[in-house]
Amino acid sequence: MSFKIAIIVCLTLMCLVACITYFLGKKVSKNLMKYIPVFSFGIGMLFFYIKLNFISDNPNSFDRISDMIVIIILLIVFSIALLEAVIIDIVENTKIFGKGFMGLRKAMKLVVVNKKQVRLK
């Protein structure tokens, strides 16, 4: 498989996975929407890894070097996309935990105030 055809197949697979993830995110869960780039770049990386190991025409050709370069680039972009999705999840959940923590803190203050009032009487 030539490098140009591999790029076209990889981009087609990545777009297909992005569309499937988008429609699943719309129908099933909105949280899935932020992982679209992660899944797409992961599938692209997996395709080139399979191409490198199993579909290679010539074992000692320049296509192997270019496949490795593309895998490294996709791995870097995949890592950045995964980090971004995890950071977004942490920030969203921190707001929820912050609200819960503030409610717990107010409840603890009320209990302490009520104990002091009971002792003063």
Phi-psi region of 29 (alpha: psi -120 to 50; beta: other; left: phi over 0): beta
pLDDT band at 111 (very low <50, low <70, confident <90, very high): low
pLDDT digits (tens, 9 = 90+) for 33-92: 888 889 999 998 888 888 887 776 666 677 778 888 988 999 999 999 999 988 888 887
For the cut 90, the answer to whether the pLDDT of residue 113 exceeds it is: no
Number of domains in the chain: 1
The predicted pLDDT at position 118 comes to 54
* Cα separation, 77 vs 111, whole angstroms: 51
> What is the share, in percent, of the chain residues with pLDDT greater than 70?
72
* Cα separation, 60 vs 94, whole angstroms: 51
Which range of residues forms the domain containing residue 115?
3-120
Q: How far is CA 15 from CA 37, 42, 52, 56, 72, in A?
A: 10, 12, 21, 23, 20
The phi, psi pair for 38, rounded to 5°, reads: -65, -50
* Cα separation, 56 vs 94, whole angstroms: 47
Question: CA gyration radius for the chain?
Answer: 25
* Cα separation, 111 vs 67, whole angstroms: 64
Which amino acid is it at 98? G
The predicted pLDDT at position 29 comes to 80
